[in-house]
Amino acid sequence: MNLHLLTDDLLLRLLQASDEHAFRELYQRYWKKLFTTACYKLKSKEAAEEIVQNIFVSLWEKRATLQIDNLENYLFIAVKYKVINYVESLMVRQAGQKQLAGNTTDESTEATIMINDLHAAIQQALTQLPAKTREVFTMSRFEKCSVREIARHMNLTEKAVEYHITQSLKLLRVSLKDYMVVGVPLIITLLK
């Protein structure tokens, strides 16, 4: 079978059936585009390679449960969020190194502490959610899945998914009310 003539949808179906040739075709079809995008944003070939490799490893590992409407969009969104996570972790590492070196001002130290406190509060608030609601919220806000994708993945109606998202946002708003002034941009982004 000539796999390069198949559509992404057909290759995804083959991938879900653990077809290594379909995976290889998808890898060859998208690796360079994803790498170029990541490299452009990060200005680091090594980091871009690592990000793209991780995306394809995840694609293979989750192949049986994937519910993807548009593979190309899915992959480029994955690159976008992996780049964001990479930059954030790099910034945290650099801030930590500056603190160890004593190069930070009291103001930046305070901001770092506040961000760490906010992150811990968000994680704590998430543990208060029922398991299904937490999973829906995580897929919606952190994995950027659509309501339809979540509904398919969790075998729920779209209304049920929307209900879980609404409930989680209500609880998180209450739990994080003390941080609303401090971390307004982060919380607003998270709770949209």
Dihedrals phi, psi of 44, to nearest 5 degrees: -145, 115
Q: Global pTM?
A: 0.51
- Contact yes or no for 42/9 (Cβ under 8 A): no
Which amino acid is residue 62, in one-letter code?
Answer: K
Cα separation, 89 vs 110, in Å, equals 18
Q: What is the pLDDT along the chain (192 residues), one digit of tens a residue?
A: 687 888 989 999 999 999 999 999 999 999 999 999 999 988 889 999 999 999 999 999 999 888 888 999 999 999 998 888 888 887 877 776 666 555 445 556 666 777 777 777 778 888 888 999 988 888 888 788 889 999 998 999 999 999 998 988 888 888 777 665 444 444 444 444
pLDDT at 112: 72
What is the Cα 86 distance to its own chain's centre?
A: 11
* Domains, the chain, ordered by start: 1-104 (1.10.1740.10), 107-192 (1.10.10.10)
Q: Is the dihedral of CA 97, 98, 101, 106 positive or negative?
A: negative
Q: In which residue are the tokens 């090594």 written?
A: 46
Count the neighbouring beta carbons within 10 Å of the beta carbon of residue 35. 17
